[in-house]
Amino acid sequence: MTDDDFETEQNLLGSILSITDENEYQDQKKLNVSDECNQAQTQTKLQRQYKFQTTDTFSKSFEQISLGSDQICSPISPDKKLQYKNPGVCTSFSSDNQTSLENSMIFGNVCCFDYFSIQSDQFSPIYYSQNNPIWPQYQKPNQNLDIQLDIDIENMCGNQVLSRKVQKIFETGQSNQRQQIFWKVQTNCQEFSKDIFGNYLIQKILEKGTLQQQIQIFKQLQPYVVELSKNTFGCRVIQKLIDIISKNDHLIVPFIQEIKQNIKSLLIDQNGKYVILKCLENLSVDVVRFILIPTEELGIHMCDSQYGCKIIQKLIDNYPTQVDTLVQICISNQNLLYKSQHGNHILQYAIKSPKYLDIIAHYILNHLENLCFNKYASNTVEDILQYLTPKLKNNFVQILMKPSDNNGMFIFLNLATNPFGNYVVKKVLQIFDQEHKQQLVNLMKQNLQLLHQIKQSEYGQRIYNLLTTQLNDQN
């Protein structure tokens, strides 16, 4: 090989090696770029994850975080950048919902918690310091706390979350917070009382507030007692107010004056009846005696509603010697009351008195079969059995042994196989004396097919068992 050939070969090898080195350099460069891209994507993913977790956790715990609780810090600085050196956050909840360190939301180095020594009443919710982008600045209770609490109260009506939040603060918060809530609410408490959620805050103030606060609420609501008593939500506040009035005699007279002027309208109102019943239950009988006369005038209307019926029953309990007129009105319309879902309870109350028992028993004996076939009237017939005198019991059994005007069968058989009447017959066999039950047993002995028909009936099984027991004992 000549020198020229050797030089040419060396140049060629050098060129090949240079190309290989260049390719290796380009590959390494691409690798470095790929690593940098992956790191940037990872950092972006972490930032998004932090942002999602932080936002989601604080939004979910919005209702539970109380003003003035011991919040720690947030990992996000004001410029929206994530802090990587010693960042940390822990959500801290008030009262019953205290969380442990393990259950808290923690970012970064846990050692950051050691940087804070905070008492529960020292700080209110956090805001971020412009001077220190890493750690937040805590505000004193008298700064933004007042503004935030005012905004919550103003927007509370129709908002269940804010209503519960403000109630919780009034119940467990500091005295300055409780007083601030009271000042904000008491000037417009009649509007809060009519709100679906605001009424609960007024009730909470009446329940947990000081005596001075309770009296102040009473004075604010006094001109609106009748209006609120007819309101679906306001009547709850008035009922709570009656609890306060019953313990403070000097408040009773002005309250009763408001009620007395509109008593009839309250007695016929579906919400006002709750308030009248609460008065009868909590106030002395002398104070609410004025309710008796208007109730007599509205007797039949009152008997046809659930709470109207309860008012009449309460009047009978409170004034047993003064309700003759009211009871007579009810008894004179007993044909309507027996089959009334609520009115039949009035008659059950009245039969406890001997002077009304004969009147009611006479009507029942004359209409026994039809009354026992009715769901509500059968309850009254069943209830009266325990008050009947021996003579009336004998008359009752004699009617059971008569043939029915409806189908000619014994009334006893018709009742024993009826879905409502069977309860009356069963009660007779359970509580009547043996001399009265013996008449029915003798009827079964003379007509054994009656016993078979009762056995085959869907509703007569218990009666069949009672009758066979009686027959076996005699055999």
Dihedral (Cα; 153, 158, 160, 161), 10-degree rounding: -50
Q: Is the dihedral of CA 217, 222, 227, 231 positive or negative?
A: positive
Residue 407 pLDDT grade (very low, low, confident, very high; cuts 50, 70, 90): confident
The answer to whether 238 and 262 have CB atoms below 8 angstroms apart is no
Structure-token pair, residue 10? 């060396």
CB atoms within 10 A of CB 82: 18
The answer to whether 444 and 405 have CB atoms below 8 angstroms apart is no
Residue 189's alpha-carbon distances to 10, 57, 151, 208, 216, in angstroms, are: 102, 34, 16, 16, 10
Please give the distance of CA 76 from its chain centroid, rounded to a whole number.
Answer: 41
Q: Residue 427: is its pLDDT beyond 60?
A: yes
Instruction: Name residue, tokens 């890493």.
Output: 134
CB atoms within 10 A of CB 63: 15
Instruction: Give me the domains of the chain, ranges plus CATH numbers.
Output: 49-141 (no CATH), 143-283 (1.25.10.10)
Determine the pLDDT at residue 147.
Answer: 59
In angstroms, rounded to a whole number, what is the distance separating the alpha carbons of residues 323 and 343?
16
Three-state secondary-structure class, residue 98: coil
Q: Is the dihedral of CA 63, 64, 68, 74 positive or negative?
A: negative
Three-state secondary-structure class, residue 173: coil
Three-state secondary-structure class, residue 108: coil
Instruction: Name residue, tokens 């080195």.
Output: 21
Q: Burial of 441 by CB count in 10 Å (0-12 exposed, 13-18 middle, 19+ buried)? A: middle
For 121, the enclosing helix (H) or strand (E) is: none
Three-state secondary-structure class, residue 130: coil
> Cα–Cα–Cα angle for 319, 320, 321, nearest 5°?
95
Structure-token pair, residue 194? 């009519």
Interval 4-60: pLDDT, tens = 555 555 554 444 444 555 555 566 666 665 666 677 667 666 666 555 454 444 444
In angstroms, rounded to a whole number, what is the distance separating the alpha carbons of residues 232 and 189?
16
In angstroms, rounded to a whole number, what is the distance separating the alpha carbons of residues 368 and 198?
52
CB atoms within 10 A of CB 163: 24
CB atoms within 10 A of CB 231: 21
Choose among 345, 336, 335: nearest CA to 382: 345
Q: Mean pLDDT, to the nearest integer, of 91-118?
A: 39
The answer to whether 299 and 334 have CB atoms below 8 angstroms apart is no
The answer to whether 88 and 73 have CB atoms below 8 angstroms apart is yes
Greater confidence (136 vs 7) lies with 7
Interval 430-466: pLDDT, tens = 999 888 888 888 888 888 888 888 888 888 888 888 8
Mean pLDDT across the chain, nearest whole number? 76
In angstroms, rounded to a whole number, what is the distance separating the alpha carbons of residues 384 and 334?
14
Dihedral (Cα; 69, 75, 81, 83), 10-degree rounding: 140
Greater confidence (460 vs 96) lies with 460
pTM of the model: 0.63
Determine the pLDDT at residue 25.
Answer: 56
Residue 67 pLDDT grade (very low, low, confident, very high; cuts 50, 70, 90): very low
Q: Burial of 432 by CB count in 10 Å (0-12 exposed, 13-18 middle, 19+ buried)? A: buried
Determine the pLDDT at residue 295.
Answer: 93
Interval 251-310: pLDDT, tens = 999 999 999 999 999 999 999 999 999 999 999 999 999 999 999 999 888 887 888 899
Amino acid identity of residue 378, one-letter, is S
